[in-house]
Structure 1
């Protein structure tokens, strides 16, 4: 196996890294980065900066100005972007938009590409993905309760979703609903719908631990939302299959972005341990501190290898379901350990907002829950082992 990063990707990573350090990190204290994520006007300002510096949406199709990055290419670029938690916002490669760009690129027809993918891929618009429900679909999507009733010319959608990231100010949504009747009764279908609309009610914004996603997380209600037949994404009854098209790569890109943040936290902790003295020597010379930095290094290294291998398999056309589950658990738990150790190394400083480590610590905790809790991925891997007996 050749682990050499191609020169063009190494150059792109350097370009993105310089942009993040010089243009984005100085903006991390901007009050428009709220407890519910960056505001929409702040997001647009960040996107404009990335566009000006030629690093906007490198993962997007080339027909919309992107670089058609492979999954491995995204691993290199997104880690560099993640060095600031605002970096993926600026590069427009944050969730849920990055996953929706990939899904639409694979599934959307030409009219849908022009109407929805083009403004999304160019950073002119944001989107949301409405699947998770309060008492229904979540880690187990088969519990989907939102219904789509076939009517003349289209469908009427009724139901409630929650933890819908970025619903506020989104230009459109992709809705997952179960067919209420007809040939595909009981099967899931994806629908495209413009926002805002009176039939799409943003009931309330949820107060959550994390604060990285533009627009925060919402409870959204669909009150007899009419969607015409031509706005079905893909084919009727194929929603769960398309969800896998989106979710396997999307859970991996979460790993990529958070790995960049872990590298940043490690750099901050290492710098502090080399500058601060206690009991007659630098902190880094105390084994209790040095060993934590070493453990961070090993966790970061292991996470990166898991990401690269899974990305490589996806680039070979493999589904990589087991590998993406494995990588999600390895990365989310390793990166959490890095965050925890960095807070500990920084001591009292780590409890303050004088560095981004405190915010990283809070935000990354959610990563062990979204895109499949660690327990669900472990269960999926264990089930595969049972099937091989």
Structure 2
């Protein structure tokens, strides 16, 4: 029960502050949760009503593209934001998904779901092979190896003109009947984005996500605690690659087109920008970044001849005012607001490295304790890895 504060002070009790503070904290958390659910519900309602509210189907198609690129950016955030793996070849899986789905559906007569199943299997094998070959090195060397793989497949797609259409792109990808109109494509992309977000959130909230965060913060320490860091990094590479390929397949069917640019390093750099703008290690930050990079670029190019210059100014302003990304900076601001008066302004938490747990059979450590998040560097796994939609 919440104590009567006047009675506490008048009676000279010393435990009122602790008891009342605990109750206040519970009420504050409950209020924050309710507010989050209200905001989430309102945002989802607005998104589902957008085709009705939009003045033109053009904006509906823009948001469809942004939703799919948001999923792609989120899959990249699993690599970079949660495991600390900087790859310059992530767009390779997006392109493999797009070309794979297109070739299977147009030339091999596969239906949409069968083509997606094959694309998913192929991307898993490809990601595993690339991971086994490239994860032996770290840092900039890993980035260079992944970039080499991406460039190899980029050149291969352009050379196999009779299969892929070369630099002209792969056209006339059939669209399923149930995906015929712009509005239908929007709703399918929206549901797909929500499903992928929930899946990614579940992953980063699991014990596996805790180890990913530990690898990001201190891989050597995680290995000394008994975790096979190579296997965990290979797993995140395969999962993110499958997610990117699935997104690429759906994107190709939505736009009825696949292009060698899908595999290029510049596409991966755009993903990097989306993640950095939205907030590294936040999952939903990728959607915010995609919402800025994708539609804003097209809209600015319609009104300004020097739209790239305007785009650059927007990037600079975001970096200046949101140094941890938009979502990351908002989280830091909320943490500062919640800090009690007189509390130190140092880091609120330590590095995200699991503490040693009781040893299991054979002396191997058991499931790690949930790591604590470093402010601005991404959420702890127990936080769900998401700052809301």
TM over 0.5: no
TM-score, normalised relative to structure 2: 0.28
Structure 1 length as normaliser, TM-score? 0.28
Which structure features the higher share of strand residues?
A: 1
